[in-house]
Amino acid sequence: MEVLCFGVEPPGLGPPHRAVGLIFSMLLGVWSAQALEMSVGKIPFLEAVNGSTVMLPCTYSSCIGIKNLYFNWQFNDNGTMQKVCESTIASEEVEPNVNVLRERVEFVGKNHHNNISILLWNITFEDGGQYTCFGRNPKEKDKNHSAIFTLIVVDELRVVDNTLTIMIASAVGGAIALLMGFMLLKNFTLFVISKLEEKNKECLVTSSGIDNTENGLSGSKADSKPTPKKK
């Protein structure tokens, strides 16, 4: 999302401009409430195989700049929020000392371009769940901001299995095979159409430029495809 920033109020508003000034201040109030923003990217979840190493992405953005920004990552363990790591960032582009409170966690964002992503090494099934990227900027009255990223740990990445389809088709014979071929073609066409629509939609969204396709390292993938309906 694009962050809307409003500059300083124009000086010397005359009486005729009072009303405009008032509306202006109201708008300013609404927008400044969103000054800090935490973002986990366009695709806020990741499906990864146990044993792989994944990145949990998060960046912050602020119109008014940061000073001593406090941030942490929290893991929602059956409703109990467990701190994964925390730190205070003195200012932009200064690498903070991060206090890591969970095993196999590495702070890789390094506050480089507001990046506070972490790496989770050798994930287990227990690592699956919701991770909250939390930030608080003293410059804006200590308001809390957060974004949630979901990690799904799977045994193996689901692959489209056509074996059964082929077996049935060859057993029952030509007519049914033809029918199924037609259905598959239809599904494929629907799939292509939905992909095209998705692509079109994506083009309309302005984004902060986080590309989730780079989240996974070994053996993981961000699964954004809607699975085509099986008829």
Ligand X SMILES: *[C@@H]1O[C@H](CO)[C@@H](O)[C@H](O)[C@H]1NC(C)=O
> By C-beta, is 98 or 169 nearer to ligand X?
98
- Strands 45-49, 80-89: pairing is unpaired
What CA–CA distance (Å, rounded) separates 97 from 80?
25
The yes or no reply on residue 217 touching ligand X (CB under 6 A) is: no
Question: Quick one: which of 14, 155, 161, 205 contacts ligand X (CB under 6 A)?
Answer: 155
Amino acid at 132: T
> By C-beta, is 117 or 137 nearer to ligand X?
117
The yes or no reply on residue 113 touching ligand X (CB under 6 A) is: yes
Strands of 129-136's sheet, edge to edge? 99-100, 80-89, 69-77, 129-136, 144-154, 45-49, 220-221
> By C-beta, is 107 or 169 nearer to ligand X?
107
| Run of H or E residues at 191 | helix 174-204
**Burial of 24 per CB tally in 10 Å (0-12, 13-18, 19+):** middle
Interface mask toward ligand X for 159-198; x: CB under 6 A: ----------------------------------------
Q: In this chain, which residue has its C-beta nearest to ligand X?
A: 51
Give the residues lining the site for ligand X (CB under 6 A).
50-51, 55, 57, 59, 77-78, 104, 108-109, 113, 115, 117, 121-122, 144, 155, 210, 214
